[in-house]
Amino acid sequence: MFILNQDHNEMYWYDNNSCLYTMPVFHQKKLIGFNLYVDGDFLGTFDSVKECVEEITNIVNCECEYYCVLGYSDWNIIEHLMIE
C-alpha cells in the first residue's frame, strides 16, 4: 500500500515488513508534538501520542491501495515559531 504524507506531497510504500513509529518533537525544551514515521520517512506531526496510535491503527487496518495521513493543514511552523 502507498501512504500519502500529511502534507500530501510525498508518497511512501508500506507493507507488513514496514516499521511505523513515533518520535517526540521539542522546541526550546517544550514538547510541541509527535512525529509519525514509516521506515524512517516522515509522515506527519500530531498533537498527542493518542492521535499517533490512532493513525497507526488506521494505517495497519487499511485494506485500500492508498492511505492519506490525516491532519493536512497549510499551517507553517516557521511562521508559528517566529510569532512566539
Per-residue pLDDT reduced to its tens digit, 20-39: 999 999 988 999 999 999 99
Reading the block at residue 78, the C-alpha cell is 516557521
Dihedral class, residue 71 (left if φ above 0, else alpha if ψ from -120 to 50, else beta):
left
Residue 14 near residue 3 (C-beta atoms within 8 A): yes
Per-residue pLDDT reduced to its tens digit, 33-84: 999 999 999 999 998 889 999 999 999 999 999 999 987 665 565 665 655 4
Range of the structural domain that residue 46 is part of: 2-83
Q: Classify strands 66-68 and 2-4 as parallel, antiparallel or unpaired.
A: parallel
| DSSP category for residue 7 | T
Q: What integer pLDDT is reported at residue 72 of this predicted model?
A: 62
Total domains present in the chain: 1
* d(C-alpha 12, C-alpha 17), whole Å: 13
* d(C-alpha 10, C-alpha 2), whole Å: 10
